Amino acid sequence: MTIAEPAAALGREIVAHIDELAAISAEPGVITRVFLTPEHRAAADLLMGWMRDAGMSAAIDAIGNVVGRYEGEQDGLPCLMLGSHYDTVRNAGRWDGPLGVITAIACVGALHRRGRRLPFAIEVVGFADEEGVRFASTLLGSRAVAGTFDARALDSIDRDGITMREALRAFGLDPGAIATAAHAPGAVLGYVELHIEQGPVLEAEGLPVGVVSAISGATRLSVTLTGMAGHAGTVPMALRRDALTGAAECILAIETYCRGHAGLVGTVGQIAAEPGATNVIPGRVGFTMDIRTAGDDRRKAAVGDLTAAIEAAARRRGLEVAITVTHENRTVNCAGWLKAQVAAAVAAEGYAVRELPSGAGHDAMAIADIADMAMIFVRCRGGISHHPDEHAELGDVEAGAKVLLRLIETFSPRDNAR
């Protein structure tokens, strides 16, 4: 067999599995697979089947992560951890998250078929909730693995009023057992996540893969404005305390501020007005904010300025305001030693080594609390992501798989692993 044949076979297997997983959704014709839903469970079962076919043991942990383990030369060795997430945003693309899980499983399958065991174990984790769609707080699966899951999140509610605690029980999990998902720091030699770039850089430069330098931090907030509901026909404009027009002013202020600061991005992705009727002045509005930039100090300063601007707009309009931080992640650098091994694998496969930062969040940010991490980016079409048009070409999927497989086979734990 030439080197190219197994890579082509791996690429075809990965794309077939991406397509099969994409069919598991809350609604036919679109991809929506959020945390702790029946479709989330069906996806977990499918992934566990593929893990077992690839020679791994597989189980669901206490938060809903799917964990596959391929033992090394002896049982019980510390592991190289690989993975990404299997939840999606609503009306998602098929590649964000699943590509990293499925490629890692395919690489382990290739080792297994050759009977190859390594001086370390491999764990492949399909993280349960990276997107944070259902309960606003993100990285729930990887934080549980890192032992940093915040138990207060169990009381958060989804849009149907179901608490995370109730949702875990309905999924068959014990909310009191989440600590058991945590891995001891010494048990993980390093973490490598393969992911589509979700941006346009690799495509613009004609490169199939990239080496991530750092993952930008993010702050997510939830804002509630409360005014006074009233009759749309009788309350004169000057006497209204309309929470929705107040929110509109705040949202435009966020846009103007972020446009005025290079590299800063701010998004209001969710909004709900109550009571929600054509002929009633909105008395209460909730909306979310997502603020990101490279550099934690710059992000924190922006969050401070925007909070002050929202409070000022609310005061001017006679609205009450409540602002809560629902999620915060610092910028995390990829570990130099592990990034160098990824770069060496990229070069050995004949690709130019291009380092680039990630503006999107990844499970690697949470795992960095217990292990050094690195990431491989795979080019995607048009930089499109969080959209059904998200797409990666078969050749680029193959390139990513070749780099990951080489990385696994050449992986050398850092001598003084922390």
Binding site for ligand GLV (CB under 6 A): 131, 360-361
Instruction: Report, in Å, the least distance between residue 90 CB and Mn ion.
Output: 11
Minimum distance from residue 9 beta carbon to ligand GLV (Å) = 30
Q: Least separation, in Å, of the C-beta of 344 and ligand GLV?
A: 28
**Residue 68: contacted member of Mn ion, ligand GLV, none (CB under 5 to 8 Å, by partner type):** none
Shorter beta-carbon distance to ligand GLV: residue 301 or 360: 360
For residues 234 and 281, give the distance between their C-alpha atoms in angstroms, rounded to a whole number. 10
123 binds, among ligand GLV, Mn ion, none (CB under 5 to 8 A by kind): none
- When CB distances are held under 5 to 8 angstroms depending on the partner's kind, the choice from ligand GLV, Mn ion, none that residue 97 binds is Mn ion
**Which residue, 82 or 218, is less far from ligand GLV as judged by CB?**
218
79 neighbors 120 (Cβ within 8 angstroms): yes
Q: How far is the CB of 118 from ligand GLV (least distance, A)?
A: 31
Taking the complex as a whole, the smallest distance from the CB of residue 198 to Mn ion amounts, in Å, to 7
- Binding of Mn ion by 210 (CB under 5 A): no
Which CB atom, from 391 or from 414, has the smaller least distance to ligand GLV?
Answer: 391
| Binding status of residue 96 toward Mn ion by CB under 5 A | yes
Secondary structure letter of residue 261 according to DSSP: S
CB atoms within 10 A of CB 404: 26
User: For the packed helices 4-22 and 394-410, what is the interaxial angle rounded to 10 degrees?
Assistant: 110
* Contact predicate 317/237, CB 8 Å: no
By C-alpha distance, which of 219, 65, 195, 248 is closest to 136? 219
| β-sheet bridge partners, residue 122 | 70, 80
Binding test (CB under 5 A) with Mn ion, winner from 64, 83, 93, 97: 97
Nearer to Mn ion, 97 or 246 (CB): 97
When the beta carbons of 200 and 230 are compared against ligand GLV, the nearer one is: 200
DSSP, residue by residue, 188-204: EEEEEEEEE--SSHHHH
**Nearer to ligand GLV by C-beta: 26 or 360?**
360
C-beta of residue 240 within 8 angstroms of C-beta of residue 283: no
- Binding site partner of 227, from ligand GLV, Mn ion, none, Cβ cut-off 5-8 A by kind: none
Geometric angle at alpha carbon 209, from 261 and 108, rounded to 5°: 125
Chain residue at closest Cβ approach to ligand GLV: 361
CB of 361 to ligand GLV, least distance (A): 3
361 binds, options ligand GLV, Mn ion, none, Cβ within 5 to 8 A by partner type: ligand GLV
Decide the pairing of beta strands 265-267 and 332-333.
unpaired
CA distance 15 to 368: 29
Please name the residue that has the structure tokens 């915040």: 150
Cα separation, 141 vs 233, whole angstroms: 49
Choose the contact partner of 282 out of ligand GLV, Mn ion, none; CB within 5 to 8 A by kind: none
Residue 97 vs 109, nearer CB to Mn ion: 97
Q: Min. distance of Cβ 192 from ligand GLV in angstroms?
A: 18
Which residue, 266, 217, 221, 264, is CA-closest to 365?
217
Show the DSSP H helices in 317-418 as ranges: 336-348, 364-367, 394-410
Residue 82 phi, psi dihedral angles, 5° rounding: -130, 155
Q: Report the residue number, 147 or 359, with the smaller CB distance to Mn ion.
A: 359
Minimum distance between the CB of residue 131 and ligand GLV, rounded to whole angstroms?
6
At position 211, the amino acid (one-letter code) is V
Contact between 61 and Mn ion (CB under 5 A)?
Answer: no
Which residues sit at the interface with Mn ion, rule CB under 5 A?
A: 96-97
